[in-house]
Structure 1
Amino acid sequence: MRVLGLSSGTSHDGIDAALVSFGVTPGGDELRARLLHHATTPYTPALRKAIRTSLPPGKVRLGDVCALDNRLGRAFAGAATAVLDAAGPADLVCSHGQTIFHAATDGTLQLGQPAWIAERTGLPVVADVRVRDVAAGGQGAPLAPVLDLMLLAGKDGRWGAANLGGIANLTVAVPGEATAYDTGPGNALIDAAALLVTGEPYDRGGALAATGTVRTELLDRLLVEPYYARTPPKSTGKELFSAAYLDGAGGYPPADLLATLTELTAVTVAAEIRRHRLDHVLISGGGVHNATLLDRLAKRADGTALVRSEELGLPADAKEAILFALVGWLTWHGLPAAMPAATGALGPRVIGAITPGADPLRLPAPLTRTPQRLTME
């Protein structure tokens, strides 16, 4: 089965798309996946500005939210058709959309109306993938562990996976101790500061941070944030770690500010790696391109081997799109994709709502069990 996964993360810079072919081995224990095509469609400057101004602490009118939902739907539809034109047909699309609001107590909202995708592609679309978990008492996040745990199943040692997106999350894949949660900011504060002090959307390669000095008084003040001490399940977003979080930090030289925020991400992620005594951590997400961040994380992680996800056949930049292709496959086959130990839900749930394509909607008979392992071919 060929599934097209679509995602745009908390960095809101564009739409990642991954066309993945899935097949279950005889016996049903292993799911094999082959990445057929991966592409990123950048948002136009106008659309990215509209997203940015809609995020907390910005105030928006309901009409603006409605218009943005449809603008994003058309953008996701365009990204989908571009991949299908380039790489051939698919059987299903799973679209995460663009998170506009996420809070543990108030729910979660992803925009990008899936009807536009179904209309343009003629394919059924799985979307709105977080709210069923929320309705079951969970936080709807993180969803990455369904991929991480299957990919790392059976590995020797104490393995985990860290995704360094706008928000960083950690999956602990140790048998009997499996859990996952957001550790705090990944690139969100670094990007916000880079835009503020340089006009660029991010610190390319961590080059400016590399020339700066970590200001311990600022780092200590930022580490007082109560989120870090909260017990999982926990998830967060730009409702907390937005540009407003940097109020009062404007008096520092740009290089020092970025060095300190890069250190903040490294400190908070590494603290959780050490907490779970992980000896290998699979690294993915946009943060892998920040050499300064990876260097600081390696030093703070105290001997833990940081393994690029490409070594297991999972391109770092494609991980979230592949994740949602997997979510779509699981939903289509009646299998749960959210991990209650990570989200806090009452139990596993089949997630997402399905928008029919051009043909009548015909679901296969549900599978009786979830494959335990995922192999990227």
Structure 2
Amino acid sequence: MRFLSIVTGTSSDGADVSLIDLKGCGRRVKFKIINYTSFRYPEELRRELLKVSSMECVTAEEFSKVHWDLGRFLANAIVSSFNVGDYDVVVYSGYTAYHGPSLGKRDYGTLQIGEVSEIYARTLKTVVYDFRTNDVAAGGLGAPLIALSDSLIFDEGTLTVNIGGISNVTYIGRNRVIAFDVGPGNILINSLTDYFYNEPYDKDGLHASNGHVIRELILELMQDKYFSQQPPKNTGREYFGLSFVKDRILPYLGRYSRDDLIRTVTRFTAECIRDQVKRFINGPIREIVIGGGGTRNPVLMSDLRELLGDLAPRITTFKDHGIDDLAREGLGFAIIANETLHLRVGNTEATGGSPIILGKVIPGSDFLNIIESLKNDEC
């Protein structure tokens, strides 16, 4: 069965779309990534998304508008680029406008936006979406959810590192999975390039390569209370967003250049990953596999190889394992959606929630045929 998986991460620069073929489920699942593409947000939509996810006050009208604007953008993107006969199911992880658990407010819930009815109305395909809410309702943190796919794909002793807006790690141990958000990924880098240069990200690490690391600032940032918090834990733009940048990083501007600050948060991103792995992963690591948008930043990747080199005999990328680095999250959510359609649990102990099926489903015009075909899968 073919899944068209849409990911709108906390980097807020665009949507990643992966076309994935899946057979079977559970540990027997087999995958093939057929195609991957990305769709950059129009500037107005990007600004709207940043506003509603920044803890600023917005009206109900503004919130509803961006919710539907994003849904229409995603629907238009996939309809213009894929034939409806290319895929059977659409998967949408959702754009996180608010995530209470990352602020210590789990009872406030989590809120993903991007109206999926727009996608359904344009395609009449089955849509599986909004995976975090069931985990939160079951007592979990709603993240990280990609731990499930990593535990099904990789062998014991593997540590995966995903660098999106937020960085997270998954460790596959003996009969257990440890996974949590380690801290900022691209989010601080992107926030500074946007603030200083009106650029959505540091392309090819250009600004970082022109700057110098401010060791004093890194030492200060590493004292943040999040890093001493025990897993399970997660975080997001609500915490490491623009307010964090303004309060903790911009005061250094004047004594240091803009590119010095960008270079410093790039190094800080890598040092957060090392620090959290050293603190909370207590099993042997045979291989570290790195993926996500951060792999496109050569300065960040150089820092990671330097800092993680003594933690494992091998450091590879998802691409080395036949997974496009940028399609990793799309694959992860497609696997969760596949488990959902098989009526199987989609979370792991890493979220802290009780085992539960994840996601919501809008049945498409061929939904009964899909369900019938799943009966033959090996799980």
Q: Normalised by the size of structure 1, how large is the TM-score?
A: 0.91
Mapping for residues 114-153 of structure 1, pairs under 5 Å? 114-153=116-155
Question: How many residues matched?
Answer: 363
Partner of 1:6: 6
Cα offsets for 1:22-60 (capped at 9, x unmatched): 1129xx752111112211111111111111111223221
User: Structure 1 counterpart of 2:145, which letter?
Assistant: L
Residue pair 1:147, 1:326 contacting (<8 A) in 2 also = yes
Mapping for residues 167-206 of structure 1, pairs under 5 Å? 167-206=166-205
Aligned partners of 1:207, 1:222: CA distance in 2, in Å? Answer: 23
Deviation at 1:83, TM superposition (A): 4.1
Secondary structure, aligned partner of 1:173: strand
Secondary structure, aligned partner of 1:163: strand
Secondary structure, aligned partner of 2:335: helix
Mapping for residues 217-256 of structure 1, pairs under 5 Å? 217-247=216-246, 248-251=251-254, 252-256=256-260
Deviation at 1:242, TM superposition (A): 0.8
Structure with the higher fraction of residues in helix conformation: 2
Tell me: CA distance 1:301–1:360, structure 2 relative to 1, closer, same or farther (3 Å): closer
| Alignment of 1:40 onto 2:48 | no
User: Structure 2 counterpart of 1:293, which letter?
Assistant: L
Aligned partners of 1:355, 1:268: CA distance in 2, in Å? Answer: 39
Aligned partners of 1:226, 1:367: CA distance in 2, in Å? Answer: 48
User: Structure 1 counterpart of 2:23, which letter?
Assistant: G
Partner of 1:74: 72
Residue pair 1:19, 1:83 contacting (<8 A) in 2 also = no
Aligned partners of 1:130, 1:43: CA distance in 2, in Å? Answer: 23
Q: How large is the RMSD of aligned CA atoms in angstroms?
A: 2.1
User: Structure 1 counterpart of 2:355, which letter?
Assistant: P
Secondary structure, aligned partner of 1:364: helix
| Alignment of 1:318 onto 2:327 | yes
Residue pair 1:6, 1:80 contacting (<8 A) in 2 also = no
| Alignment of 1:333 onto 2:329 | no
Partner of 2:361: 354
Q: Normalised by the size of structure 2, how large is the TM-score?
A: 0.90
Gaps of 5+ in 1: 372-377
Tell me: CA distance 1:29–1:128, structure 2 relative to 1, closer, same or farther (3 Å): closer
User: Structure 1 counterpart of 2:371, which letter?
Assistant: P
Deviation at 1:95, TM superposition (A): 0.8
2:92 aligned to which of 87, 90, 95 = 95
Residue pair 1:271, 1:301 contacting (<8 A) in 2 also = no
Residue pair 1:103, 1:236 contacting (<8 A) in 2 also = no
| Alignment of 1:21 onto 2:25 | no
Aligned partners of 2:331, 2:175: CA distance in 1, in Å? Answer: 26
User: Structure 2 counterpart of 1:74, which letter?
Assistant: R
1:270 aligned to which of 256, 267, 274 = 274
Aligned partners of 1:242, 1:18: CA distance in 2, in Å? Answer: 27
Deviation at 1:249, TM superposition (A): 3.3
User: Structure 2 counterpart of 1:48, which letter?
Assistant: R
Aligned partners of 2:124, 2:170: CA distance in 1, in Å? Answer: 35
Tell me: CA distance 1:218–1:364, structure 2 relative to 1, closer, same or farther (3 Å): same
